[in-house]
Structure 1
Amino acid sequence: MGDGALSVWEKSSTARVVPPARPRKLSKVPFVELADGRLQGVVSSGSDIGRVYVSSVAAGTYAFACSTNNNRPCGGARGWFCNHIQALIGEAVVQYGAGRVARYLKVEAADGELDGDSLTHAMRSTRPPQGDGSAAASVFSRFLRHLAYLEFAPDTAPLPEMQWFPTTRAVA
Protein backbone atom coordinates (compact mmCIF):
# COMPACT_ATOMS: atom_id res chain seq x y z
CA MET A 1 0.00 0.00 0.00
CA GLY A 2 2.70 2.43 -0.97
CA ASP A 3 0.25 4.81 -2.63
CA GLY A 4 -0.93 6.23 0.70
CA ALA A 5 -4.18 4.23 0.75
CA LEU A 6 -5.18 2.90 4.14
CA SER A 7 -6.50 -0.60 4.71
CA VAL A 8 -9.90 -1.07 6.32
CA TRP A 9 -8.45 -1.96 9.72
CA GLU A 10 -6.20 1.11 9.69
CA LYS A 11 -9.28 3.33 9.27
CA SER A 12 -11.14 1.83 12.22
CA SER A 13 -10.69 2.26 15.95
CA THR A 14 -10.08 -1.45 16.39
CA ALA A 15 -7.00 -3.57 15.92
CA ARG A 16 -6.55 -7.14 14.84
CA VAL A 17 -6.64 -9.59 17.71
CA VAL A 18 -4.68 -12.81 17.66
CA PRO A 19 -7.15 -15.62 18.37
CA PRO A 20 -6.42 -17.80 21.39
CA ALA A 21 -4.45 -20.98 20.80
CA ARG A 22 -7.36 -22.86 22.41
CA PRO A 23 -10.58 -21.62 24.02
CA ARG A 24 -10.11 -21.08 27.70
CA LYS A 25 -12.37 -20.77 30.72
CA LEU A 26 -12.23 -17.36 32.34
CA SER A 27 -13.49 -18.33 35.80
CA LYS A 28 -10.07 -19.22 37.27
CA VAL A 29 -7.83 -16.79 35.34
CA PRO A 30 -9.99 -14.00 33.92
CA PHE A 31 -7.07 -11.87 32.70
CA VAL A 32 -3.67 -12.89 31.32
CA GLU A 33 -1.23 -10.88 29.23
CA LEU A 34 2.34 -10.83 28.01
CA ALA A 35 3.28 -7.21 28.64
CA ASP A 36 5.93 -4.99 30.21
CA GLY A 37 8.49 -7.80 30.15
CA ARG A 38 6.31 -10.07 32.26
CA LEU A 39 3.66 -12.71 32.08
CA GLN A 40 1.04 -11.13 34.30
CA GLY A 41 -2.61 -11.44 35.11
CA VAL A 42 -5.43 -11.81 37.58
CA VAL A 43 -6.24 -15.18 39.18
CA SER A 44 -9.38 -15.93 41.18
CA SER A 45 -9.03 -17.15 44.73
CA GLY A 46 -9.89 -20.78 45.26
CA SER A 47 -11.36 -20.13 48.70
CA ASP A 48 -13.00 -16.66 48.59
CA ILE A 49 -15.20 -15.62 45.67
CA GLY A 50 -14.61 -11.94 46.48
CA ARG A 51 -10.81 -12.16 46.31
CA VAL A 52 -8.47 -12.16 43.34
CA TYR A 53 -4.70 -12.33 43.10
CA VAL A 54 -2.45 -10.32 40.82
CA SER A 55 0.40 -12.59 39.73
CA SER A 56 3.42 -12.04 37.51
CA VAL A 57 6.60 -13.72 36.27
CA ALA A 58 9.40 -11.59 34.77
CA ALA A 59 10.96 -12.56 31.45
CA GLY A 60 14.54 -13.83 31.69
CA THR A 61 14.93 -13.75 35.48
CA TYR A 62 11.58 -15.41 36.31
CA ALA A 63 11.26 -13.13 39.32
CA PHE A 64 7.72 -13.65 40.53
CA ALA A 65 5.16 -11.83 42.60
CA CYS A 66 1.67 -12.64 43.80
CA SER A 67 -0.61 -10.54 45.99
CA THR A 68 -4.29 -9.89 46.50
CA ASN A 69 -6.01 -7.02 44.73
CA ASN A 70 -5.54 -4.97 47.93
CA ASN A 71 -1.77 -5.67 48.06
CA ARG A 72 -1.68 -8.40 50.70
CA PRO A 73 1.05 -10.93 49.84
CA CYS A 74 0.07 -14.42 48.78
CA GLY A 75 0.82 -16.96 51.51
CA GLY A 76 1.82 -19.62 48.98
CA ALA A 77 4.48 -17.61 47.12
CA ARG A 78 7.34 -18.17 49.51
CA GLY A 79 10.42 -19.12 47.54
CA TRP A 80 8.50 -21.05 44.86
CA PHE A 81 5.68 -20.41 42.41
CA CYS A 82 2.35 -20.52 44.22
CA ASN A 83 -0.77 -22.16 42.79
CA HIS A 84 -1.93 -18.79 41.39
CA ILE A 85 1.25 -18.37 39.36
CA GLN A 86 1.07 -21.96 38.14
CA ALA A 87 -2.55 -21.37 37.03
CA LEU A 88 -1.48 -18.15 35.30
CA ILE A 89 1.27 -19.97 33.37
CA GLY A 90 -1.15 -22.74 32.39
CA GLU A 91 -3.76 -20.29 31.09
CA ALA A 92 -1.11 -18.27 29.24
CA VAL A 93 -0.18 -21.45 27.39
CA VAL A 94 -3.85 -21.97 26.49
CA GLN A 95 -4.23 -18.34 25.39
CA TYR A 96 -0.95 -17.79 23.52
CA GLY A 97 0.51 -21.25 22.96
CA ALA A 98 3.49 -22.75 24.78
CA GLY A 99 6.04 -21.67 22.17
CA ARG A 100 5.08 -18.01 22.31
CA VAL A 101 5.04 -17.96 26.13
CA ALA A 102 8.43 -19.70 26.26
CA ARG A 103 9.95 -17.22 23.78
CA TYR A 104 8.50 -14.23 25.64
CA LEU A 105 9.74 -15.42 29.03
CA LYS A 106 13.06 -16.61 27.53
CA VAL A 107 12.58 -20.15 28.81
CA GLU A 108 14.87 -22.80 27.42
CA ALA A 109 12.73 -25.88 27.93
CA ALA A 110 13.92 -29.41 27.28
CA ASP A 111 13.22 -30.94 23.89
CA GLY A 112 9.79 -32.40 23.44
CA GLU A 113 6.26 -31.13 23.80
CA LEU A 114 6.01 -27.80 25.60
CA ASP A 115 3.15 -27.27 28.02
CA GLY A 116 2.47 -25.28 31.17
CA ASP A 117 4.04 -27.90 33.43
CA SER A 118 7.29 -28.11 31.43
CA LEU A 119 7.59 -24.31 31.34
CA THR A 120 6.97 -24.07 35.07
CA HIS A 121 9.54 -26.81 35.73
CA ALA A 122 12.17 -25.09 33.53
CA MET A 123 11.68 -21.77 35.34
CA ARG A 124 11.57 -23.29 38.82
CA SER A 125 14.83 -25.17 38.22
CA THR A 126 16.64 -21.81 38.08
CA ARG A 127 15.49 -20.89 41.62
CA PRO A 128 13.79 -17.63 40.58
CA PRO A 129 13.90 -14.70 42.97
CA GLN A 130 10.77 -13.34 44.54
CA GLY A 131 9.91 -9.97 42.97
CA ASP A 132 8.67 -6.87 44.73
CA GLY A 133 5.16 -6.91 43.25
CA SER A 134 5.35 -3.26 42.21
CA ALA A 135 3.44 -3.98 38.98
CA ALA A 136 0.35 -5.31 40.75
CA ALA A 137 -1.52 -1.99 40.75
CA SER A 138 -1.05 -1.36 37.03
CA VAL A 139 -1.98 -4.95 36.11
CA PHE A 140 -5.14 -4.81 38.22
CA SER A 141 -6.03 -1.41 36.76
CA ARG A 142 -5.72 -2.81 33.20
CA PHE A 143 -7.91 -5.74 34.22
CA LEU A 144 -10.61 -3.39 35.52
CA ARG A 145 -10.41 -1.30 32.33
CA HIS A 146 -10.71 -4.54 30.34
CA LEU A 147 -13.87 -5.44 32.29
CA ALA A 148 -15.38 -2.02 31.58
CA TYR A 149 -15.21 -2.67 27.83
CA LEU A 150 -17.36 -5.77 28.31
CA GLU A 151 -20.24 -3.51 29.36
CA PHE A 152 -20.31 -1.75 25.97
CA ALA A 153 -22.69 -2.93 23.29
CA PRO A 154 -20.89 -4.08 20.11
CA ASP A 155 -20.38 -1.06 17.87
CA THR A 156 -18.05 0.14 15.14
CA ALA A 157 -18.09 3.78 16.28
CA PRO A 158 -14.80 5.14 17.65
CA LEU A 159 -14.32 5.18 21.41
CA PRO A 160 -13.22 8.61 22.71
CA GLU A 161 -10.65 7.14 25.13
CA MET A 162 -8.98 5.32 22.22
CA GLN A 163 -8.44 8.49 20.16
CA TRP A 164 -4.90 9.01 21.43
CA PHE A 165 -3.62 6.25 19.12
CA PRO A 166 -1.46 7.83 16.41
CA THR A 167 -2.74 8.00 12.87
CA THR A 168 -0.71 7.47 9.70
CA ARG A 169 -2.48 10.14 7.68
CA ALA A 170 -1.84 13.87 7.80
CA VAL A 171 -4.35 15.97 9.70
CA ALA A 172 -5.52 19.03 7.76
Structure 2
Amino acid sequence: MTAAAALRRSVIKPPSLARPRKVEKVPFVELYAGRLQGVVSSGSDIERVYVSFFDGSSGNFNCSTNNNRPCGGLRSSPCKHLQALMGEAVLQFGAPRVIAYLGLGADPASAKGPGDLLRFIKGGPQREEAGMVFSRFLTYLHHVSLPSTTAPIPEMNWFVR
Protein backbone atom coordinates (compact mmCIF):
# COMPACT_ATOMS: atom_id res chain seq x y z
CA MET A 1 0.00 0.00 0.00
CA THR A 2 1.32 3.43 -0.87
CA ALA A 3 1.73 6.17 1.71
CA ALA A 4 -1.03 8.23 0.05
CA ALA A 5 -3.44 5.29 0.19
CA ALA A 6 -2.59 4.68 3.85
CA LEU A 7 -3.52 8.28 4.71
CA ARG A 8 -7.00 7.81 3.18
CA ARG A 9 -7.77 4.75 5.34
CA SER A 10 -10.22 5.11 8.20
CA VAL A 11 -8.40 2.50 10.26
CA ILE A 12 -4.67 2.87 10.73
CA LYS A 13 -2.24 0.33 12.07
CA PRO A 14 -1.24 1.30 15.60
CA PRO A 15 2.44 1.83 16.21
CA SER A 16 4.36 -0.92 17.94
CA LEU A 17 4.74 0.09 21.56
CA ALA A 18 8.07 0.33 23.38
CA ARG A 19 6.40 -1.39 26.34
CA PRO A 20 2.86 -2.55 27.02
CA ARG A 21 0.50 0.24 28.09
CA LYS A 22 -0.29 0.43 31.80
CA VAL A 23 -4.05 0.08 31.40
CA GLU A 24 -4.52 -0.51 35.13
CA LYS A 25 -2.99 2.94 35.75
CA VAL A 26 -4.36 4.78 32.67
CA PRO A 27 -7.28 2.72 31.35
CA PHE A 28 -8.41 5.31 28.79
CA VAL A 29 -6.45 7.79 26.72
CA GLU A 30 -7.57 9.51 23.53
CA LEU A 31 -6.94 12.45 21.24
CA TYR A 32 -10.41 13.91 20.78
CA ALA A 33 -12.00 17.32 20.20
CA GLY A 34 -8.66 19.14 20.24
CA ARG A 35 -7.65 17.62 23.56
CA LEU A 36 -5.56 14.85 24.98
CA GLN A 37 -7.93 13.37 27.54
CA GLY A 38 -8.40 10.25 29.55
CA VAL A 39 -9.07 8.45 32.80
CA VAL A 40 -6.29 7.78 35.33
CA SER A 41 -6.59 5.48 38.34
CA SER A 42 -5.93 6.85 41.80
CA GLY A 43 -2.71 5.74 43.43
CA SER A 44 -4.27 5.63 46.88
CA ASP A 45 -7.87 4.43 46.39
CA ILE A 46 -8.74 1.55 44.07
CA GLU A 47 -12.33 2.83 43.82
CA ARG A 48 -11.35 6.33 42.60
CA VAL A 49 -10.46 7.51 39.11
CA TYR A 50 -9.42 10.92 37.83
CA VAL A 51 -10.57 12.48 34.58
CA SER A 52 -7.73 14.51 33.09
CA PHE A 53 -7.14 16.55 29.95
CA PHE A 54 -4.76 18.88 28.14
CA ASP A 55 -6.44 21.35 25.78
CA GLY A 56 -4.64 21.93 22.50
CA SER A 57 -5.97 25.38 21.69
CA SER A 58 -5.37 27.06 25.06
CA GLY A 59 -2.73 24.81 26.63
CA ASN A 60 -4.90 24.56 29.74
CA PHE A 61 -5.33 21.35 31.71
CA ASN A 62 -7.52 19.87 34.40
CA CYS A 63 -7.70 16.87 36.69
CA SER A 64 -10.66 15.95 38.87
CA THR A 65 -12.48 12.86 40.05
CA ASN A 66 -15.36 11.58 37.97
CA ASN A 67 -17.56 13.30 40.60
CA ASN A 68 -15.92 16.67 39.82
CA ARG A 69 -13.87 16.89 43.01
CA PRO A 70 -10.59 18.65 42.21
CA CYS A 71 -7.32 16.74 42.31
CA GLY A 72 -5.34 17.62 45.44
CA GLY A 73 -2.05 17.64 43.51
CA LEU A 74 -3.20 20.04 40.78
CA ARG A 75 -1.52 23.41 41.22
CA SER A 76 -0.10 25.72 38.57
CA SER A 77 1.55 22.76 36.83
CA PRO A 78 0.28 19.30 35.81
CA CYS A 79 -0.26 16.80 38.65
CA LYS A 80 0.94 13.18 38.65
CA HIS A 81 -2.31 12.04 36.98
CA LEU A 82 -1.75 14.43 34.07
CA GLN A 83 1.88 13.31 33.85
CA ALA A 84 0.76 9.66 33.68
CA LEU A 85 -1.81 10.56 31.00
CA MET A 86 0.86 12.28 28.90
CA GLY A 87 3.20 9.32 29.33
CA GLU A 88 0.64 6.80 28.12
CA ALA A 89 -0.38 9.09 25.24
CA VAL A 90 3.23 9.30 24.05
CA LEU A 91 3.44 5.52 24.27
CA GLN A 92 0.10 4.95 22.53
CA PHE A 93 0.28 7.58 19.77
CA GLY A 94 3.95 8.61 19.65
CA ALA A 95 5.44 11.97 20.57
CA PRO A 96 5.19 13.48 17.05
CA ARG A 97 1.44 12.84 16.84
CA VAL A 98 0.77 14.23 20.35
CA ILE A 99 2.90 17.31 19.57
CA ALA A 100 1.04 17.94 16.32
CA TYR A 101 -2.40 17.32 17.80
CA LEU A 102 -1.91 19.63 20.78
CA GLY A 103 0.00 22.21 18.76
CA LEU A 104 3.00 22.14 21.07
CA GLY A 105 6.14 23.99 20.02
CA ALA A 106 8.36 20.97 20.66
CA ASP A 107 10.69 19.50 18.06
CA PRO A 108 9.39 15.98 17.36
CA ALA A 109 12.93 14.73 16.70
CA SER A 110 14.19 15.74 20.13
CA ALA A 111 11.02 15.24 22.22
CA LYS A 112 10.81 11.53 22.93
CA GLY A 113 9.27 11.27 26.39
CA PRO A 114 6.37 12.82 28.28
CA GLY A 115 8.62 15.14 30.31
CA ASP A 116 9.90 16.68 27.10
CA LEU A 117 6.33 17.49 26.08
CA LEU A 118 5.13 18.73 29.48
CA ARG A 119 7.65 21.58 29.31
CA PHE A 120 5.73 22.97 26.33
CA ILE A 121 2.36 23.10 28.11
CA LYS A 122 1.86 26.86 28.44
CA GLY A 123 -1.61 27.05 30.00
CA GLY A 124 -2.79 26.59 33.54
CA PRO A 125 -5.49 24.74 35.43
CA GLN A 126 -8.96 25.20 33.96
CA ARG A 127 -11.92 23.88 35.90
CA GLU A 128 -14.31 21.88 33.73
CA GLU A 129 -16.95 19.20 34.23
CA ALA A 130 -15.59 15.65 33.89
CA GLY A 131 -18.85 14.15 32.60
CA MET A 132 -18.13 14.20 28.87
CA VAL A 133 -14.78 12.43 29.12
CA PHE A 134 -16.03 9.95 31.72
CA SER A 135 -19.08 9.17 29.58
CA ARG A 136 -16.82 8.44 26.60
CA PHE A 137 -14.78 6.12 28.85
CA LEU A 138 -17.89 4.23 29.97
CA THR A 139 -19.04 3.87 26.36
CA TYR A 140 -15.59 2.57 25.45
CA LEU A 141 -15.80 0.01 28.29
CA HIS A 142 -19.21 -1.09 27.04
CA HIS A 143 -17.96 -1.57 23.49
CA VAL A 144 -14.87 -3.57 24.46
CA SER A 145 -16.99 -5.84 26.66
CA LEU A 146 -19.33 -6.82 23.81
CA PRO A 147 -18.93 -10.42 22.68
CA SER A 148 -17.41 -11.04 19.27
CA THR A 149 -20.01 -11.37 16.55
CA THR A 150 -20.42 -11.02 12.83
CA ALA A 151 -23.99 -9.78 13.25
CA PRO A 152 -24.65 -6.03 13.05
CA ILE A 153 -24.50 -4.14 16.35
CA PRO A 154 -26.95 -1.22 16.10
CA GLU A 155 -25.07 1.17 18.39
CA MET A 156 -21.90 0.74 16.33
CA ASN A 157 -23.43 1.27 12.88
CA TRP A 158 -21.65 4.61 12.56
CA PHE A 159 -18.35 2.78 11.97
CA VAL A 160 -17.15 2.72 8.37
CA ARG A 161 -17.64 -0.73 6.89
Cα distance in 1, alignment partners of residues 144 and 128 from structure 2: 27
Q: Distance between the aligned counterparts of 1:18 and 1:116, measured in 2?
A: 22
Q: 1:129 aligns with which of 105, 124, 132?
A: 124
1:53, distance to aligned residue in structure 2 (A)? 0.1
Matches within 5 A, 1:49-64: 49-64=46-61
Residue of structure 2 equivalent to 1:119: 117
Name the residue aligned to 2:6: none
SS of 1:122's equivalent? Answer: coil
Query: Normalised by the size of structure 2, how large is the TM-score?
Result: 0.84
* SS of alignment partner, residue 161 of structure 1: helix
User: Residue 137 and residue 87 in structure 1: after superposition, are their counterparts in 2 closer, same or farther (change >3 A)?
Assistant: same
For 2:97, the equivalent position in structure 1 comes to: 100
1:65 pairs with 2:52: no
Identity %: 50
Q: 1:166 to 1:112 in 2, by over 3 A?
A: closer
1:41 offset after TM fit, Å?
0.2
Total equivalences in the alignment: 150
Contact 2:111 2:117 (8 Å CA) reproduced: no
Q: Is it true that 1:142 corresponds to 2:136 in the alignment?
A: yes
Runs of 4+ in 1 over 4 A off after TM superposition: none
Q: In 2, Cα distance between the equivalents of 1:43 and 1:97?
A: 19
- Residue 137 of structure 2 aligns with an amino acid whose one-letter code is F
| Residues 1:159 and 1:129: Cα distance change in structure 2 (over 3 Å) | same
